Homo-oligomer: A and B are copies of this chain.
Amino acid sequence: MSGTLNKVMLIGHTGDEIKMHYFEGGGSIGRFPLATNETYTNRTTGERVSNTEWHNIVMRNKAAEICEKYLKKGDKIYIEGRLKTRKWQDDQGRDRYSTEIQCTEFTFLTPKGEGGAMPPDSSSAPAKEQVHTSQPQVEEPIGEEDDDLPF
């Protein structure tokens, strides 16, 4: 079914490095926290309010491995993904819920080269086996035949 949309777009700073978990079959999953900020002036008190929101980012396979290599704590990153709320049981057997952003695209926004290990073009390396968990500009290689055709 469909006719629905589930999309999240974040620009924020990582609160930690990615924590990886490798599957036997060769797959992998990684998680890290991402912080976004909001500031506004409270209309009643007139004071400046500042809030930080933390998001649970989940990446898989190639994308996760690229982040393991190149994404450092504090880096700025653009994340696109889908909201997913996982259900789990706490130690008392109670249902608990945790909302995550399953990343489908990302792009590094921290300028490179300052002693970092990042190669010139790593931020746009395609995530091959899992096409969608990668760079926006990378995974949609539309238009190879033409774009010059007169129609």
| Residues of chain A having any CB pair with chain B under 8 Å | 1-13, 19, 21, 23, 25, 27, 29, 31, 35-44, 49-50, 52-55, 60, 76, 78, 82-86, 88, 96-99, 102, 104, 107-109, 111, 121, 123-124, 126, 130-133, 135-151
Contacts and interface: CB of A to CB of B under 8 A. Distances in A.
Contacts of A49: 144
**Considering the complex of A and B, which 9 residue pairs feature the smallest CB-CB distances, nearest first?**
A2-B124, A40-B141, A99-B99, A38-B137, A5-B11, A1-B37, A6-B36, A4-B36, A132-B140
A138 B39 contact: yes
A7 B4 contact: no
Q: How many copies does the complex hold?
A: 4
A14 B18 CA distance: 31
A139 B41 CA distance: 10
Given A40-B126, A40-B138, 12 more contacts: A3-B124, A4-B12, A4-B35, A5-B12, A6-B38, A7-B8, A7-B10, A10-B83, A11-B11, A36-B83, A41-B126, A111-B111
